Structure 1
Amino acid sequence: MKMVKLFVAGFLALRVVRVGGKEVINTSSPCDFPAIYNFGDSNSDTGGISAAFYGFAAPTGETFFHRPVGRASDGRLVIDFIASHLGLPFLSPYLDSLDSNFSHGANFSTGGSTIRPSNVSMSANGVSPFSLDVQIAQFNQFKSRTTSLSNQAKKQHDRFPSVDDFPKALYMFDIGQNDVSVGFRNMIDNEQLQADIKDMIHQLATAVRAPAEAVSRLRWAHNTGPIGCLPMTLKFIPNPIPRLLGEHSCVKYQNDVARQFNKVLNQQVIQLRTELPLSAIAYVDVFSAKYQLFGRAKEHGFGNTANICCGYFEDKSQVWCGQRANVNGTELFGGSCEDPSSYVSWDGVHYTDAANHLIAAQIIYGSYSDPPVPIKRSCHTIQA
């Protein structure tokens, strides 16, 4: 009877609205997330890898922050827009020892991170040593240390999180792109790739379960984006055979593998909901949000999506964004374009502030989420 009453009450609190041509569920009471704890790679790294190794150089950050701030973009990332939408400040990287404020959460993501640990150094393949299991270990240490300091303190420190906020926080996962990309680089066969995807998702699910002790309200899991549409993918496949290209002139087989990864992830999320009935777990189809941006770029005021704003890539010569390199006897600097807002891609892999803004606007209202609930109301779940 209790379950029936809760279901009826929950149903009456919901109403269906249309966002971007899709039906989404809206609830009567917004969630009050006091904090965000994020785990991921460069798509949501707000300065972790920059703090751990070499600081990012100009022109990164030029559009919004007007200086490098450790983000692989000219400005804000999708997670920055989500935080602002929820009325929270931008997340401080866990690895940044200077000027960090963790009162509203922490960001454990780092550029180059993978779900599965890598046995190769970062200098060899660009993969971060801070894989997802390490990020979860860092979170556990962070939570334990916070609890210890809270017990010792006579009053709440204004730069520390409240222990009471951990169960109420939003836990975000945005990782997997590098794992899939490493598979492409290693040229493993399809059967092995499928087995690897299952293992990736298994380890990702283990991480998603990790904050269960806190009985968190929500886990917000992003799938991986259309890797085959990234300018860097196209640059490394010069003059691709037409049959390799699919819709929007993207490399079809790479997007197909990303879709397979996302399919297995979606199935795992469904399973996790049965395992963690006290938590709301959202599957966010970032792939579709980004894919439609590549397909409708001109409608949004962007130019050719194969072009990059920052860096130099011509033929076999390349100069990464913000770096210098000798090309045919001439020293070149990987500077930025005149108007980043007219580009989807910042550096060939990551998105511009303008593109991230549009992507965030597509997902925060629930039109690309399962269940289709706006993020401000996604904490609601039916409990027995």
Structure 2
Amino acid sequence: MASSIMPVILSFLFLVLCHPYAAVSSAGQAPCCYKRLFSLGDSIIDNGNLGAVNPNISALAFPYGETFFHHPTGRFCDGRVIVDFIVMATLLTSTDALRLPFLTPFLAGKTAEDFEHGANFAVAGATALSQQFFKDMGLDLAIIPPFSLDVQVEWFKRVLYMLGPTEQERKEIMSSSLFLLGEIGGNDYNHPFFQNRSFSTEIKPLVPKVIEKIENATKVLIGLGAKTIVVPGNFPVGCIPRYLTMFQSNDSSQYDAAGCIKWLNDFSEEHNHALRRMLKRVASSDPTVTIIYGDYYGAVLEITRSPQKHGFRKDVALTACCGDGGPHNSGTLFSCNATSVLCPDPSTHISWDGLHLTEATYQFVARGMLDGPYAVPSILSKCRY
């Protein structure tokens, strides 16, 4: 009797311990699905890189970090960001006792041990196009860091060679790791928008250039041996408080039923459609590679249209939690600081500071990417037990 039950028990234990939620123990045991996560992008997933080179950024001051860490960490959020939730995958319980450690920001790490479980190369304000491109465009570079996607890819190569001195080791690292490439490209549009550049003649024409940069980065990772890459699209910027304030209008035809600006969301969709076409083309060239599209747009649009269904307040769906008290509580680019108008419960808000989102929103997005329906295919569907 006992001998017949034992294989069943062992099979059950294998499924549990190798389930992607069974991240790692504090001893550093890697998950059975992906051994590491490497992420590139901007402030949506930056967990401290910009803060490592600029101690004066707003994300290093209260109330940033108030919800989870209870102190500022350099994340432009009240707590954790999307990449944090992806690596945290817990052991089928609410405890954090068994989890993959938060990724080390590249600019805060020094040794191979710092990047044992992966690394985060994302930098707040980063663009897909180079800083020089925007300099040539005549933009003020004050908030455009010199850490574009190409730079981040080069950083990754440095870490890869640090972790894998031999070609075989690097091949194993690449094939067993998950890559999160983005969101990147949003700032390529944000920066000229915020400097009052023409939408039709200067901003909209950037889309193919941005997509080309993302395509190049994707191909570089594949060339190095990556087998699973998640590439998210852009958010519905017409629902972002900062943009709602910038382009507020008395013309009701400008808005959809949720109160978002239609032409801005159309622009986000244009970027996302171009991105998906490119990813489909790249994926078709190598059947051994899985490229997962992350639908940030669909996830945020869902909670904006049906906030109460997902635990958010309908009356503040388009209002920043932390801001200056103006329209949508977001009258300036970065208005969140110790003197800001701060909501009592960030978990009921979609927007944190008018441009970035709350931990609750990022958790919703991450969950939808891990399990679906906001990733095609979902991240965890690609795991093999």
Q: TM-score range by the shorter chain?
A: 0.7 to 0.9
Q: Distance in 2 between matches of 1:88 and 1:123?
A: 39
Q: Distance in 2 between matches of 1:202 and 1:210?
A: 12
Q: Contact (CA 8 Å) 1:51, 1:95: kept in 2 or not?
A: yes
Q: Distance in 1 between matches of 2:287 and 2:310?
A: 40
Q: Contact (CA 8 Å) 1:269, 1:281: kept in 2 or not?
A: yes
Q: Contact (CA 8 Å) 1:109, 1:135: kept in 2 or not?
A: yes
Q: Contact (CA 8 Å) 1:231, 1:349: kept in 2 or not?
A: yes
Q: Which has the higher helix share?
A: 2
Structure 1 match to 2:37:
36
Structure 1 residue 306, shift from structure 2 partner: 2.0
Matches within 5 A, 1:5-44: 32-44=33-45
Q: What code does the residue aligned with 2:78 have? A: D
Among candidates 180, 184, 188, match of residue 189 of structure 2: 180
Q: Contact (CA 8 Å) 2:63, 2:337: kept in 1 or not?
A: no
Structure 2 match to 1:10:
none
- For normalisation by structure 1, the TM-score amounts to 0.78
Q: What code does the residue aligned with 1:263 have? A: H
Structure 1 match to 2:268:
258
Matches within 5 A, 1:201-350: 201-303=211-313, 304-314=316-326, 318=332, 320-323=334-337, 333-334=339-340, 336-350=342-356
Partner-residue secondary structure (3-state), 1:199: helix
User: Bigger shift: 76-85 or 139-148?
Assistant: 139-148
How many residue pairs get aligned? The number is 331
Structure 1 match to 2:107:
95
Matches within 5 A, 1:109-258: 109-119=122-132, 124-148=141-165, 164-174=172-182, 175-185=184-194, 186-190=196-200, 193-258=203-268
Q: Contact (CA 8 Å) 2:292, 2:379: kept in 1 or not?
A: no
Q: What code does the residue aligned with 2:304 have? A: F
Identity rate, percent: 29
1:78 aligns with 2:82: yes
Q: Distance in 2 between matches of 1:195 and 1:359?
A: 28
Q: Distance in 2 between matches of 1:98 and 1:131?
A: 21
Partner-residue secondary structure (3-state), 1:101: helix
Structure with more contact order per residue of length (Cα contacts < 8 Å, sep ≥ 6): 1
Q: What code does the residue aligned with 1:377 have? A: S
Q: Distance in 2 between matches of 1:218 and 1:240?
A: 46
Q: Cα RMSD over matched residues? A: 2.8
Measured against aligned partners, the alpha-carbon deviations of 1:225-283 in whole angstroms (never above 9, x if no partner) come to 10110011112224442222123111111110110000000000011112233211111
Q: Distance in 1 between matches of 2:199 and 2:237?
A: 18
Measured against aligned partners, the alpha-carbon deviations of 1:280-302 in whole angstroms (never above 9, x if no partner) come to 11112110011111111122332
- For normalisation by structure 2, the TM-score amounts to 0.78
Structure 1 residue 320, shift from structure 2 partner: 3.8
Q: Contact (CA 8 Å) 2:128, 2:188: kept in 1 or not?
A: yes
**5+ residue gaps, structure 2:** 1-30, 91-98
Q: Distance in 1 between matches of 2:310 and 2:38?
A: 31
Q: Which has the higher strand share?
A: 1
Partner-residue secondary structure (3-state), 1:37: strand
